[in-house]
């Protein structure tokens, strides 16, 4: 397709810190055909560990704004200026703040490019967990602005139900497309050597978890679980990721006297090589719209045990078949399920085998094809 006939798209996101929505965006950019799409990326803040992975053929515009209602109008104005100058045939924004700012920009300034909102969060539960005066305003704005988009895309049926039931958005306005997961790339990265002594010494099993060290990921609960588990089984815990909760989590491990058997590895460019050499992956989150890390752990060939939080894990893991799901907050049941997996080699192998089979629906080519169909339909 000639450059003049390529579909000109502007993608808008707050920033590119390590997270599921951000990795989705990078996978989308990497896999959309450059012969068919002319892609520009708008970031509200040109920062983040994933920014370096954006290809040189993608134009990046920095709005240089912060997540605050004081700069909300300024962000809307700057989005309008980018849209006015580049005249895209389609705009897609990702996550609530960018979605609200972009929707408000189109309403306020009247630009006509079709708009898709990609919502990566279970917003109602998220706002409950982070209840502030601002979240009340955001809830109102979601109800008012989201229905004005041409389409809202979410990665799970649970996320769709959230928008329908809690924000009264019509079903016809919402499309569900699972996140694309590059299984082959993950397997290649997971095969890289790792020199961590715990992962080289297979006498003591290692549990691993990956994620940002923030309250929503619930690592404090995992450390409490681990302290109970340690009384019944010789085991170690690795936590991959960084964030504002790190010091508090390290202090909790010391207080529970398990700090010698827990290591915080910080953020890793390749977490998969650590996951693949571990014995069990645990997801303790309070909330997941999809959970990239859970699918990635399955792709690494590791049995998974997850909290059955709203609402992603239950759409990924079939309880007792491709892993275990544990009711939120049930420490006793989590310990019991971990002990079962630790002590049953045959079950671990079955979880790994059935987990890999379950990955078929998250293929990159399938998700990219579905997004391409939506882009062409909405852009006309």
Contact 153, 119 (CB under 8 A): yes
- Say whether pLDDT at 136 is over 70: yes
Backbone angles phi, psi at 353, to 5 degrees: -60, -50
Q: Which CATH class is domain 183-361?
A: alpha beta
Helix (H) or strand (E) holding 26: helix 20-31
pLDDT value at position 71?
Answer: 82
pLDDT value at position 201?
Answer: 84
- Cα distances (angstroms) measured from residue 219 to each of 206, 285, 316: 16, 8, 21
**Six token digits for residue 44:** 């509200």
Residues 222, 206, 240, 123: is their CA dihedral positive or negative?
Answer: negative
Q: Which CATH class is domain 3-180+363-379?
A: alpha beta
Helix (H) or strand (E) holding 3: none
pLDDT digits (tens, 9 = 90+) for 7-56: 999 999 988 887 888 989 999 999 998 889 999 999 987 877 788 888 88
- If you average pLDDT over residues 336-340, what whole number do you get? 98
- Cα distances (angstroms) measured from residue 187 to each of 132, 237, 251, 316, 352: 41, 22, 34, 18, 13
pLDDT digits (tens, 9 = 90+) for 78-132: 999 999 999 999 999 999 899 999 999 999 999 999 999 999 888 888 888 776 6
Taking the C-alpha atoms of residue 331 and residue 224, their distance in angstroms, rounded to an integer, is 8
**Six token digits for residue 127:** 């706002």
Taking the C-alpha atoms of residue 79 and residue 41, their distance in angstroms, rounded to an integer, is 11
pLDDT-derived band of residue 215, with 50, 70 and 90 as boundaries?
A: very high
- Say whether pLDDT at 4 is over 80: no
**Six token digits for residue 102:** 């972009």
**Six token digits for residue 187:** 């397997």
Taking the C-alpha atoms of residue 121 and residue 118, their distance in angstroms, rounded to an integer, is 9
pLDDT digits (tens, 9 = 90+) for 285-321: 999 989 999 999 999 999 999 999 988 899 999 999 9
Taking the C-alpha atoms of residue 268 and residue 342, their distance in angstroms, rounded to an integer, is 26
Check if 3-180+363-379 and 183-361 are the same fold.
Answer: yes
Short-list 354, 312, 320, CA closest to 161: 312
pLDDT value at position 276?
Answer: 98
Contact 18, 51 (CB under 8 A): no
Contact 41, 29 (CB under 8 A): yes
**In the beta sheet, which residues pair with residue 91?**
10, 115
Provide the terminal-to-terminal Cα distance of the chain, rounded to the nearest Å.
Answer: 17
Degrees to nearest 5, angle at CA 250 with 238 and 262: 25
Count of other CB atoms within 10 angstroms of residue 25 = 23
Short-list 214, 285, 207, 198, CA closest to 249: 214
pLDDT value at position 64?
Answer: 86
pLDDT value at position 260?
Answer: 97
CA 333 to chain centre: 26
Q: Which residue ranges make up each domain of the chain? A: 3-180+363-379, 183-361
Contact 17, 114 (CB under 8 A): no
pLDDT digits (tens, 9 = 90+) for 163-204: 999 999 999 999 999 999 999 999 999 999 999 999 998 899
CA 209 to chain centre: 14
pLDDT value at position 1?
Answer: 47
- Strand arrangement, sheet containing 7-13: 59-62, 37-43, 7-13, 90-94, 115-118, 151-154, 174-176
Taking the C-alpha atoms of residue 114 and residue 235, their distance in angstroms, rounded to an integer, is 53
**Six token digits for residue 280:** 């069990």
Looking at residue 89, the DSSP 8-state letter turns out to be S
pLDDT, mean over the chain: 93
**In the beta sheet, which residues pair with residue 304?**
281
Beta-sheet pairing, 7-13 with 37-43: parallel
Taking the C-alpha atoms of residue 16 and residue 106, their distance in angstroms, rounded to an integer, is 23
């Amino acid at each position: 397709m000639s450059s003049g006939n390529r579909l000109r798209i502007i993608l808008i996101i707050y920033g590119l810190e390590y997270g599921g929505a951000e990795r989705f965006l990078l996978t989308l950019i990497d896999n959309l055909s450059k012969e068919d799409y002319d892609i520009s990326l708008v970031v509200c803040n040109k920062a983040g560990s994933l920014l370096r992975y954006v290809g040189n053929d993608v134009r990046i515009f920095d709005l240089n704004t912060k997540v605050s209602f004081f700069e909300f109008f300024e962000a809307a104005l700057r989005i309008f200026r980018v849209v006015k100058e580049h005249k895209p045939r389609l705009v897609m924004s990702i996550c609530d703040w960018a979605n609200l700012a972009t929707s408000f920009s189109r309403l306020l300034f009247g630009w006509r490019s079709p708009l898709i909102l990609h919502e990566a969060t279970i917003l109602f539960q998220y706002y409950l967990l982070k209840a502030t005066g601002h979240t009340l305003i955001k809830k109102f704005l979601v109800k008012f602005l989201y229905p004005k988009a041409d389409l809202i895309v979410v990665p799970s049926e649970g996320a769709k139900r959230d928008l329908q039931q809690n924000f009264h958005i019509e079903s016809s306005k919402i499309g569900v497309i699972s996140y694309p997961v590059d299984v082959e790339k993950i397997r290649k990265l997971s095969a890289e050597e790792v020199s961590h002594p715990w992962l080289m010494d297979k006498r003591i099993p290692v549990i691993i978890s990956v994620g940002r060290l923030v309250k929503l990921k619930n690592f404090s609960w995992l450390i409490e679980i681990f302290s109970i588990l340690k009384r019944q089984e010789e085991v170690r815990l690795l936590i991959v990721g960084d964030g504002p909760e790190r010091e508090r989590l390290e202090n909790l491990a010391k207080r529970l006297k398990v700090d010698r058997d827990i290591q915080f590895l910080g953020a890793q460019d390749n977490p998969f090589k650590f996951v693949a050499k571990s014995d069990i992956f645990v997801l303790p989150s309070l909330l997941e719209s999809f959970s990239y890390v859970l699918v990635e752990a399955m792709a690494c060939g590791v049995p998974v045990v997850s909290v059955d939080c709203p609402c992603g894990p239950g759409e990924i893991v079939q309880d007792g078949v491709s892993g275990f799901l544990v009711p939120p907050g049930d420490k006793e049941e989590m310990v019991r399920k971990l002990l079962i997996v630790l002590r049953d080699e045959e079950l671990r192998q079955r979880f790994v085998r059935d987990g890999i089979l379950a990955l078929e629906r998250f293929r990159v080519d399938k998700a990219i094809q579905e997004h391409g169909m939506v882009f062409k339909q909405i852009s006309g």
